Amino acid sequence: MCCDLKRRFLLLYATQKGQAKAIAEEICLQAGAHGLEADMHCLSEMDKYNLETEKDPVVIVISTTGTGDPPDTARKFVKKIRDKTLPPDHLAHLQYGLLGLGDSEYTFFCNGGKTVDRLLQELGAQHFYDTGLADDCVGLELVVDPWIDGLWLALKEVFLLQKEKEGMSNDVSADSHVGHEMNLSSKIQNLNLEDGVRSSDGPSHKLVDINVVASATDTEPSLVHSVPPISQSALNIPALPPEYIEVQFQDTHGENPHLSSLISEGTTFEVPVTKASQLTREDAVKTALLLELDIANTAFDYQPGDAFCVICPNNVNEVEELLHILGLSEKGENFVCIKVKQDTKKKGATRPQHIPERSTLKFILTWCLELRAIPKKAFLRALVECTSNAGEKRRLQELCSKQGASDYVHFIRESNVCLLDLLRAFPSCKPSLNLLIEHLPKLQARSYSVSSSNLYQPGKLCFVFNIVEFPACPTRPVLRKGVCTGWLAELVAPLLHTNKDMQDIKRESSPTEKISIFARPNNTFHLPSDPSVPFVMVGPGTGIAPFIGFLQHRQKLREEHTNWEFGETWLFFGCRHQDRDYLFKDELRCFLENGTLTHLKVCFSRDSSTAEVAQPKYVQDVIRLYAKEVARVLLKESGYFYVCGDKKHMADDVSDALLDILSTEMEVDKLEAMKTMAMLREAKRYLQDVWS
């Protein structure tokens, strides 16, 4: 562009866990290299931008949360543009490009972005660039990177047209402009092979020098080793992100902030754990625990079907190991002051909101940063500069390069590699503390479904979880437990007691251990408001958790309102072994005997059967056996259908089974059955609470 001043575009983002913001920051970073200036704001900062008067192009990056909702930070914006009183040409002047983030494992893929896109179109706004939908299931970067690459040409074409309209295009040659911009990676560093393996304190090495260091049998690629063609390729790597955080060490005097100050989503409550039970036998494949919390002296309230979040710390051993690698073991208890560097080149740099301005170093690493986060390519690029060994430096460059995209997906993303894994694999990499604060995302609170009813157990809140385990693998030599489930299991270990026959595994104890929680209400996954309406529940494994709360609530209502009419209830439950992981077996039998639960259908996927006819192994198979009954509940009696549990290995199969049932029982083709399913979802009568 023939203009000394950089052309501005408005860059808006809405994020739930930080990914959309990180991508917006990457766009902002790259904009300068293309002669553009990004005016970046969160969608929630509606006092800092105005689409109704915006003349420049707008770029929006937005994620999806829950069951297809826009992020919390986009709620006010969505409400505003959803106003039915606005005319259809309200935003006809607006030109925008939108990048949506989602996960195809969930039914409403990228629905946050799709919703905003549709609403803007309905108000007359025009695309200047095709909408991108990035899938976290296979890797956001597969769509994000090429979408950003193509954005610059699209933006400059908008500005070119604007100049032509303004009558200022005489000196601009469209042909030369397009020809110049077709090289979209012109501002990305091109590294020759020698550059990629040059040590910080020595001459460049030939390719053979790397292979001499590697094992002669090391012919397969790995996290630390590459093979041709990438090992012999020139690399396109991202621009180095500018550092913007300054860390000042202070003394050890003072107090750390309260955990509630780290949470912006709602009021936090510190509550005691009053009971812990192991629901599975010792030889079960997974260990399931039930925890009971005392909320009697708090304002915490919930309905059966709601979820809540637990504020959890990083593993103490991992924190200590990281301190050791950073050479800061002696300074863990020192307070640090976090500020923005005065001379930073990062536009609009601010201290991350999840980092206290002053706290101990150990507090930051324990409660604020997601140490287990999968490092993004920008982080890998920054780590290159902290690595002294030539071969390690080259491999990190490969992993963040365009040429190494498949290696990044396979050895970083799919292997769930985290920062500590990288630092173990690349021992000459010694990052600074400020780099970690700049690149590691916020440590997220973990969400759990409530497994109780406040009506049935006043002042109590129960929840169930499996202790998550990540087995050892080539990139991680030791078994690793989930951040929150591993911590909770260790926390309640004193409350657990196992007797000889493994049947009585409960032990009351004085409330000594406390955890911090906050509410995350589910606006739809609740019992029907009319108790006479029948419903079907599908919850294998720990997916049964919210349905225990449903049944407790229903039992109490039946006791208190003997004259009410109650609809029939179905529960489809499955597990591996009847005698090892049949959760809530006794409670379900009681619900069945007292009439709270009308039908209980169970299956066991790993138990061998002596029956002549093969027994169904999975809940979706059992549901098919009761096709007519399920269809009657949904189609004739306007009932509800709830699914809770694993998305990838269960919920989709249940959805397929129900689709087949509707098609068969309605005597229609699959397309008509799909329309009926869509109607059930729209009416909030087919409801899911699933996780991947």
pLDDT digits (tens, 9 = 90+) for 115-165: 999 999 999 999 999 999 999 887 888 899 899 999 999 999 999 988 887
Give the HSE-up count for residue 340: Cα atoms under 13 Å, Cβ half-sphere: 13
How far apart, in whole angstroms, are the C-alpha atoms of residue 112 and residue 99? 10
Find, among 73, 87, 495, 424, the residue nearest to 264 by Cα: 73
Length of the chain: 692
Q: Is 539:505 a contact under the CB 8 Å cutoff?
A: no
Residues 6+ away with beta carbon under 8 Å from 263: 311, 445, 518
Which tokens in the block code for residue 574? Answer: 């499955």
Q: Residue 644: in which H helix or E strand, if any?
A: strand 640-646
Q: Is 331 exposed, middle or buried (0-12, 13-18, 19+ CB in 10 A)?
A: middle
Please compute the mean of the pLDDT values over residues 10-21 and round it to a whole number.
92
pLDDT at 497: 61
- Specify the 3-state DSSP secondary structure of 106: coil
Which tokens in the block code for residue 588? Answer: 């379900």
How far apart, in whole angstroms, are the C-alpha atoms of residue 682 and residue 689? 16
pLDDT at 162: 86
Q: Count of H helices and E strands in the chain?
A: 21, 25
Starting at the edge strand found earlier in the chain, the sheet holding 335-340 runs: 245-249, 335-340, 358-360
Q: Is 575:583 a contact under the CB 8 Å cutoff?
A: yes
φ and ψ of 652, to 5 deg: -65, -40
pLDDT band with cut points at 50, 70 and 90 for residue 5? low
- Specify the 3-state DSSP secondary structure of 397: helix
pLDDT at 579: 95
pLDDT at 83: 94
pLDDT digits (tens, 9 = 90+) for 250-264: 998 899 999 999 887
Q: Is the pLDDT of residue 620 over 50?
A: yes
How far apart, in whole angstroms, are the C-alpha atoms of residue 444 and residue 148? 27
pLDDT band with cut points at 50, 70 and 90 for residue 106? confident
Find, among 214, 442, 474, the residue nearest to 314 by Cα: 442
How far apart, in whole angstroms, are the C-alpha atoms of residue 384 and residue 57? 35
Tokens 């009926």, residue?
A: 676
Q: Is 481:467 a contact under the CB 8 Å cutoff?
A: yes
pLDDT band with cut points at 50, 70 and 90 for residue 10? very high
Residues 6+ away with beta carbon under 8 Å from 330: none
How far apart, in whole angstroms, are the C-alpha atoms of residue 11 and residue 48? 12
Lowest mean pLDDT among 159-168, 501-510, 618-627: 501-510
Q: Is 81:110 a contact under the CB 8 Å cutoff?
A: no
- Specify the 3-state DSSP secondary structure of 248: strand
Which tokens in the block code for residue 177? Answer: 């402009």
Strands of 523-632 (E only): list them.
Answer: 535-538, 569-575, 599-604
Give the HSE-up count for residue 623: Cα atoms under 13 Å, Cβ half-sphere: 32
Q: Is 82:119 a contact under the CB 8 Å cutoff?
A: yes
Average of per-residue pLDDT values in the chain = 88
pLDDT digits (tens, 9 = 90+) for 154-200: 999 999 988 887 765 444 444 444 444 334 333 333 333 333 333 33
Dump the DSSP string for 544-594.
Answer: GHHHHHHHHHHHHHHHH-TTS----EEEEEEES-TTTS-TTHHHHHHHHHT
pLDDT at 180: 40
pTM for the structure as a whole: 0.81
Q: How many CB atoms lie within 10 A of CB 184?
A: 15
Tokens 């996290």, residue?
A: 223
Exposure string of 367-398, with b = 16+ CB inside 10 Å and e = fewer, is bbbbbbbbbbbbbbbbbbebbebbbbbbbbbb
pLDDT band with cut points at 50, 70 and 90 for residue 218? low
pLDDT band with cut points at 50, 70 and 90 for residue 66? confident
Q: Residue 625: in which H helix or E strand, if any?
A: helix 619-625
